[in-house]
Amino acid sequence: MRRVRAAVTAAPGAPFAVREADLEDPRPDEVLVRMTAAGVCHTDLGMRDAWPRRLTPMVFGHEGAGRVEAVGPEVTGVAPGDHVCLTFASCGACEQCAADQPAYCHDARARNFSGGRPDGTTPLSADGTPLRAGFFGQSSFATHAVVHARGVVKVPADLPASVAAPLGCGGQTGAGTVLNRLRPEPGSSLVVLGAGGVGLSALMAAVAVGCDPVVAVDPVASRRALATGLGAAAALAPGDGLVAALHELTGGGAHHVVDTTGRPETARQAVGALRPRGELALLGLGGEVAFDVTTLLAKGVRVHGLIEGDSDPRRFLPELIDLHRRGLFPLDRLVTTFPFEDIGAAVAAMEDGSVVKPVLTFA
């Protein structure tokens, strides 16, 4: 058992409050990681607001990076002192895991969204009372985390922690959508709706593989400017006339549209922006979307739903790190760092659009 500090949510929608907590030692198949950075994602906020009261108090955070301090006796592949990125949890044994698709693990809910381990326990407590944890298998809004070995990916020691952290979710979700699922041909057109961390990761991947044109759509002027700086041919504000403008920019409609907004009206616009036999990838958490089926049939549109960019993190994250080293995936340009104790300021900056990807850093 060790004393740690964690950002605790006392009830659904409550602010993150940093407080002392106790963390168990790792079990035989677990890894103890001292956090050096943790990305803040819109999913943390959305899930915090909708989280069941019976699973509070809760520690969120799912884009952790740090150094291994201890490993259980069954753990292989990482050792104390290794620099690591934390990612989502999976069982490793089901049909989807065996097919190298761990994002769709049959046991994903219990391992990522149950507020603890699959057996119902939680490694965190405060004053003898359990603190719910295990969010995406990690709960990285804390100075330390106990993580199942499958959620730990070794990274180079010289990779900045502020870059390693967002790779674990936002980076691999956006880039993987392009590289693993859509697999666009060089010269094909791609539109990104929503220029946040996920959308801009998709944009950078599209530029890296030679999509042309790549177009971003976002209401925030600074994000549109960043998109063009990252290689977008154009960046537009949403509004009336958007679909027509996208048709003109892409020469008759986009080959691919990536929607990160989760908004039904935006998804419907996305279908209108596609050319015949175009493809739409839906990434944003949201509710029901109503499509005109006749339009889908007539245009031969393919609609993809996916999570975590269809990524097998142990294979895919090293590929993204290689792209980053070659200057083709400049994830660092999205990042603004905040001390862990200033998590409230980081959340506010993301919510008001002044920061794309806040990353908490730990002393």
**Alpha-carbon separation of residue 277 from 170, 179, 233, 253, 303 (angstroms):** 27, 19, 23, 10, 10
Query: In DSSP terms, which residues pair with 235 in a beta bridge?
Result: 216
The C-alpha atoms of residue 67 and residue 150 are separated, in whole angstroms, by 16
Encoded tokens for 267: 């998804």
The length of the chain in residues reads: 363
CB-CB contact of 66 with 146 (8 Å): no
Q: How confident is the model at residue 43 (pLDDT cuts 50, 70, 90)?
A: very high
DSSP-derived 3-state class of residue 46: helix
CB-CB contact of 313 with 101 (8 Å): no
Q: Which domains does the chain have, with CATH numbers?
A: 2-154+330-361 (3.90.180.10), 174-307 (3.40.50.720)
**pLDDT tens-digit series, residues 257-290:** 999 998 999 999 999 999 999 999 999 887 788 8
Q: DSSP assignment of 195-245, as one string? A: -SHHHHHHHHHHHHTT-SSEEEE-S-HHHHHHHHHTT-SEEE--STTHHHH
* CB crowding 136-155: b at 16 or more within 10 Å, else e: bbbbbbbbbbbbbbbbbbbb
Q: What angle do CA 332, 338, 343 make, to 5 degrees?
A: 125
Q: Give the per-residue pLDDT at 286.
A: 76
**pLDDT tens-digit series, residues 214-272:** 999 999 999 999 999 999 999 999 998 999 999 999 999 999 999 999 899 999 999 99
Angle between helices 264-273 and 242-250 (to 10 degrees): 40
